Amino acid sequence: METKQKTTNFSQSFLRWAGSKRQLIPVLSRYWNDSFERYVEPFVGSACLFFSLSPKKALLSDINLELITTYKEITRDVEAVLKNLKQLKKTEKDYYRIRSIKPETRNPSERAARFIYLNRYCFNGLYRTNSKGEFNVPYCGDSRGAMPPDEMFINASILLKRAQLYTNGYEETLKKVKLGDFVYMDPPYSVSSKRIFNKYDKSIFDKSDIIQIRKWMERFDKKGIKFVVSYAESEEADLLKKGFKCQTANVRRSIAGFINKREPAKEVIISNL
């Protein structure tokens, strides 16, 4: 397969992701400009803002090993990932067979293809694991469309080559931030609501993490480092936004994970810009 040049029509994420800020891209993108030396995102998830902005340099990280392994392999050999992906059949039986495979038993391109396949056909784009760290989201492929076009993966490969990719906690990434960076933080929700899903893996993001994020915001502000934080309107958001500029944006959030049960909600966008 011949690698194509970047096509702006395909500058979007190839992943579905619970909590994705795809709806907020028109708002969030206004904070970015080309004077920033590097884009930094420590809770990268589907990386929808990164792909939309297409920065020249980036630092992306997430605690999710399978996610970052997939991004690295898309960067290294997108053709091999696509070849393996095309061999996976979209049936419920195949889904559970593929889900049962231990990812570490597969080569890197097979492992990445497995992750993309499960993400596409699982329930509502959730990434959830059990206490053993095993992916356990049920099949929902009958209601999902086809895989994204090859061009989207190829373009993602080109853009991800501009980024340093790490599997680590958010604080390890934030320690690498320097003056001239633009930091976008979209932490998991630590909100006491059954309508907001906040348990994505065997670790849980809680109130103590919100306090730490707030400390990092204050640290960055004192150093002149620019940041944007997005968070569900809540008491936790009130703590994060105190003393900083903020605006609210309307989003539609699924209730209990069901796409056909959506209610309007507000997202708070906090910055020192």
Please state, in angstroms and rounded to a whole number, the distance separating the CA atoms of residues 187 and 209.
9
* DSSP annotation string for 144-159: --PPPPHHHHHHHHHH
Query: Which residues form the domain of 222?
Result: 10-271
> Please, which residues bridge with residue 60 across strands?
41, 165
DSSP single-letter state for residue 5: P
Cβ–Cβ < 8 Å for 54, 6: yes
Can you read off the two tokens belonging to residue 271?
A: 């910055």
Is residue 259 domain-resident? yes
Taking residues 114-130, what's their average pLDDT? 92
Distances (CA, A) of 220 to 3, 86, 89, 223, 273: 39, 44, 47, 5, 12
CATH (domain of 151) = 3.40.50.150
| Residue (of 219, 201, 180, 187) closest to 132 by Cα position | 201
Tell me phi and psi for residue 248, to 5 degrees.
-115, 150
Read off the pLDDT band of 255 (50, 70, 90).
very low
Q: Which residues of the chain form beta strands (DSSP E)?
A: 38-41, 58-62, 163-167, 181-185, 226-232, 245-255, 258-271
Question: Does residue 52 have a pLDDT over 90?
Answer: yes
Read off the pLDDT band of 32 (50, 70, 90).
very high
| pTM for this entry | 0.89
| Residue (of 160, 177, 173) closest to 220 by Cα position | 177
| Residue (of 219, 233, 234, 237) closest to 183 by Cα position | 219
For 64-100, the pLDDT digits (tens) are: 999 999 999 999 999 999 999 999 999 999 999 999 9
Is residue 237 domain-resident? yes
Is residue 5 domain-resident? no
For 188-228, the pLDDT digits (tens) are: 986 554 434 444 444 567 889 999 999 999 999 999 999 99
What pLDDT, on the 0 to 100 scale, is given for residue 230? 96
Helix or strand holding residue 219 (H, E)? helix 207-223
Is residue 187 domain-resident? yes
What pLDDT, on the 0 to 100 scale, is given for residue 200? 45
Is residue 249 domain-resident? yes
Read off the pLDDT band of 7 (50, 70, 90).
very low
Is residue 2 domain-resident? no
Is residue 3 domain-resident? no
Question: Does residue 261 have a pLDDT over 60?
Answer: no
Please state, in angstroms and rounded to a whole number, the distance separating the CA atoms of residues 172 and 165.
12
Please state, in angstroms and rounded to a whole number, the distance separating the CA atoms of residues 220 and 178.
9
Count structural domains, the chain: 1
Is residue 176 domain-resident? yes
